[in-house]
Amino acid sequence: MIAAGQVLDWRRQVAETYRTVREEPDPGVAHAGWAAARRRLLVGHDASPVPAGSRSSFRGGTVAPYDPAFRFVVAVTTDLPPERREMPTATDGVVPLDRVGRVELPGLGSLDLWWVASYGGGLFLPLRDATSGRSTYGGGRYVLDTIKGADLGGGLDALVVDLNFAYQPSCAYDPAWACPLPGETNTLDAAVPVGELSEDEG
């Protein structure tokens, strides 16, 4: 059982990492710092989703080299019909997600942007693509989850969607976790070969 203080420290370190990312003018430099910090947390933090008995031999946390072609700053299309998804999880109960818009990523396709309609709320942008189940986790990855600190910056008029920062959800490391995963409207036919890779690729 992970203690509350351990989770608090994890959240603070994640938030600090993304604050540094937002303040660094060079996305490649920001990405290198993010990748190092994420691997350090996965391997060494008491609140890591990697089971404690596996951390000494953990081969994951590998991140593809930064590719600026997968960084987008886009306006969110908000004139869409309302849609709600209710995602059951083992730790947080049913997580309600309300669609707040859609982002168009040139050359790749579109992804729906969600609002986590629980206490406090936050933007949520999950992703599944042609690499899922091959070089990346089969269930998909997260690009933004601002309720947990994963916030790359910008507003709905110019949202930073940098797929180089796509990372695996906790359930990729331990099936005891149940995570909201991308649906059809968050699935791209194209490959997104950047971001965090699956453990088999590490």
pLDDT recorded at residue 202: 42
Show the tokens assigned to 150.
Answer: 């994963």
pLDDT range class, residue 170, cuts 50, 70, 90: very high
Nearest CA to 163 out of 117, 103, 121, 118 is that of 103
Give the dihedral sign, CA 45/36/178/9. positive
Q: Where are the chain's structural domains?
A: 4-201
For residue range 104-158, list pLDDT tens digits in order: 999 999 999 999 998 789 999 999 999 999 999 999 999 999 999 999 999 999 9
> What percentage of the chain has pLDDT greater than the value 70?
95
pLDDT recorded at residue 62: 93
Secondary structure (3-state) at 192 = coil
Crossing angle of helices 27-44 and 4-23, in 10° steps, is 170
Alpha-carbon span 110 to 102, nearest angstrom: 7
pTM: 0.94
Question: How far is CA 175 from each of CA 48, 51, 60, 74, 85, rounded to the nearest angstrom?
Answer: 13, 10, 15, 34, 22
Question: How far is CA 106 from each of CA 71, 72, 73, 193, rounded to the nearest angstrom?
Answer: 10, 8, 11, 16
Backbone φ and ψ of 128, nearest 5°: -125, 145
| pLDDT of 193 above 50 | yes
pLDDT recorded at residue 92: 66
| pLDDT of 59 above 60 | yes
pLDDT range class, residue 61, cuts 50, 70, 90: confident
Task: End-to-end CA distance of the chain: give it in Å, rounded.
Answer: 27
Alpha-carbon span 102 to 33, nearest angstrom: 29
| pLDDT of 159 above 50 | yes
The chain-wide mean pLDDT, for the chain, equals 93
